[in-house]
Structure 1
Amino acid sequence: MFKRINRLAATIGLGVSLVAGSLVAPAAAQAEGEIRIAEQFGIVYLLLNVVRDQHLIEKYGKQEGIDIKVDWMQLSGGSAVNDALLSGSIDIAGAGVGPLLTIWDRTHGRQNVKAVASLGNFPYYLLSNNPNVKTIADFTEKDRIAVPAVGVSVQSRFLQYAAAKQWGDKSFDRLDKYTIALPHPDASAALIAGGTELSGHFSNPPFQDQELANPNVHVVLNTNDLLGPNSPTVLFATEKFREKNPKTYKAFIEALAEAADFAQKDKGAAADTYIRVTGAKIDRAALLKIIDNPQFEFSITPKGTYPLAEFMYRIGAIKNKPESWKDYFFQDEKPLQGS
Structure 2
Amino acid sequence: MATIITVSALLLTGCADGSGDGGGGGDGPEKTTLTVAGLPLADVAGLHLAIERKFFEREGLTVRVRPVQQSVQALPALAKGQVDIIGGADYVKFLQAREKGTLKTPYLAEGARNAPHMMDVLVPPESDIRTARDLKDKRVAVNILNNIQSLTLNGILRQEGAGRPDYRQVPFPQMATVLERGQVDAVHIAEPFRTALKRKLKARTVVDGDASPADGIPLSGYATTEQFAEKNPKTAAAFVRALRKGQAVAAEDREAVAKVLPSYTEIEPDEAAALKLPAYPETASASPLDRLIREMREQGLLKKKLAAGDVLHEPGK
Q: Same fold (TM over 0.5)?
A: yes
Matched, 1:125 2:110: no
| 1:320 aligned residue | 304
Aligned-residue offset at 1:258 = 0.9
Matched, 1:198 2:184: yes
Structure 2: distance between partners of 1:163 and 1:269: 35
Matching residue within 183, 187, 191 for 2:171: 183
Deviations 1:190-238, CA, capped at 9 Å, x for gaps: 43xx241222111111221233334442232422433222221211111
| 1:40 aligned residue | 39
Cα pair 1:120 1:302 within 8 Å, conserved: no
Matching residue within 145, 152, 156 for 1:150: 145
Matching residue within 90, 106, 118 for 1:114: 106
Structure 2: distance between partners of 1:279 and 1:167: 37
Report SS of the residue matched to 1:120. strand
| 1:260 aligned residue | 247
| 2:93 aligned residue | 99
Structure 2: distance between partners of 1:79 and 1:156: 16
What letter matches 1:240 in structure 2?
Q
In structure 2, the gaps of 5 or more residues are 1-5, 22-30
Aligned-residue offset at 1:301 = 3.0
| 2:24 aligned residue | none
What letter matches 1:148 in structure 2?
N
Matched, 1:297 2:279: yes
Structure 2: distance between partners of 1:58 and 1:283: 27
Aligned-residue offset at 1:252 = 0.9
What letter matches 2:291 in structure 1?
P
Deviations 1:112-167, CA, capped at 9 Å, x for gaps: 322111113333212222632234442365x432222122x321322343455566
Report SS of the residue matched to 1:322. coil
Cα pair 2:123 2:186 within 8 Å, conserved: yes
Aligned-residue offset at 1:101 = 1.6
Structure 2: distance between partners of 1:181 and 1:81: 18
| 2:78 aligned residue | 85
What letter matches 2:50 in structure 1?
V
**1:45-56 equivalences in 2 (<5 Å):** 45-56=44-55
Deviations 1:293-327, CA, capped at 9 Å, x for gaps: 6xx4322334633222112224442233123x222
Matching residue within 226, 229, 232 for 2:213: 226
| 1:287 aligned residue | 272
Structure 1: distance between partners of 2:171 and 2:48: 19
Matched, 1:208 2:201: no
Distance 1:312 1:26, change over 3 A: farther
Structure 1: distance between partners of 2:289 and 2:92: 9
Cα pair 1:92 1:237 within 8 Å, conserved: yes
The count of aligned residue pairs is 292
Structure 2: distance between partners of 1:145 and 1:87: 34
Distance 1:28 1:264, change over 3 A: closer
| 1:311 aligned residue | 295
Cα pair 1:146 1:182 within 8 Å, conserved: yes
Structure 2: distance between partners of 1:28 and 1:103: 27
TM-score (norm 2): 0.78
Aligned-residue offset at 1:251 = 1.7
Report SS of the residue matched to 1:119. strand
TM-score (norm 1): 0.73
Distance 1:93 1:137, change over 3 A: same
Matching residue within 51, 55, 66 for 1:73: 66
Cα pair 1:310 1:321 within 8 Å, conserved: no
Aligned-residue offset at 1:86 = 2.6
In structure 1, the gaps of 5 or more residues are 1-15, 62-67, 335-339
| 1:237 aligned residue | 224
Cα pair 1:120 1:300 within 8 Å, conserved: no
Structure 1: distance between partners of 2:250 and 2:224: 23
Structure 2: distance between partners of 1:224 and 1:233: 18
Aligned-residue offset at 1:187 = 0.9
The CA RMSD measured in Å over matched residues stands at 3.3
**1 or 2, which has the higher helix percentage?**
1
* Fraction of identical pairs, as percent: 20
Aligned-residue offset at 1:242 = 1.0
| 2:155 aligned residue | 161
